[in-house]
Amino acid sequence: MGLLDYFRSQKKSSAESARERLTIIIQQQRTSASTTDYLPMLKRELLEVIRKYVKIEPEAVQIKVHQEDDNEMLELSVTLPPQSAKADS
C-alpha cells in the first residue's frame, strides 16, 4: 500500500463506473423487454372488473413483473378501501 494507492482509492475507477452504469441500464432493458405492452391494458381491465364490486381508486391496483432466475412473476396487489367506505357502497 503505497502513497499512489492512497490517491487512487480516492477516486472511483472508470471501469467501476462502467460496471455500475451497465448494471442499472441492463436491469432496465430487461424489465422493459419482458414487460410487454399488455401490462397497462391488463391493469385497466382489472380495475374495471374490481370496480364492479368495490369502489377503488386507480392507484389501488399495482402490477409488477419480477424476474427470478428463469421465471417471471406477475405480482398484483389491490389495496381495498377501509371497511367504512365499503359499507357506503
Partner 1 sequence: MAEVIVVTSGKGGVGKTTSAASLACGFARAGKRTVVIDFDIGLRNLDLIMGCERRVVYDFVNVLHGDAALNQALIRDKRYENLSVLAASQTKDKDALSKDGVARVLDELKRDFDIVMCDSPAGIEQGAHLAMYFADRAVVVVNPEVSSVRDSDRMLGLMASKSQRAEEGRGRIVEHLLLTRYSPERVERGEMLSIKDVEDILGVKVIGVVPESPDVLMCSNEGVPVILRDGSEAGMAYEDTVQRLLGNDRPFRFLDVKKKGLLQRLFGS
Contact residues for partner 1 (CB under 8 A)?
8, 13-16, 18-19, 21-23, 25-26, 29-30, 33
What is the C-alpha separation between 47 and 61, in angstroms, rounded?
7
| Helix residue ranges, H only, 2-68 | 3-10, 14-34, 38-51
Cβ nearer to partner 1, comparing 36 with 83: 36
Minimum CB distance to partner 1, residue 59 (Å): 31
Cβ nearer to partner 1, comparing 31 with 47: 31
Report the SS3 class of residue 35.
coil
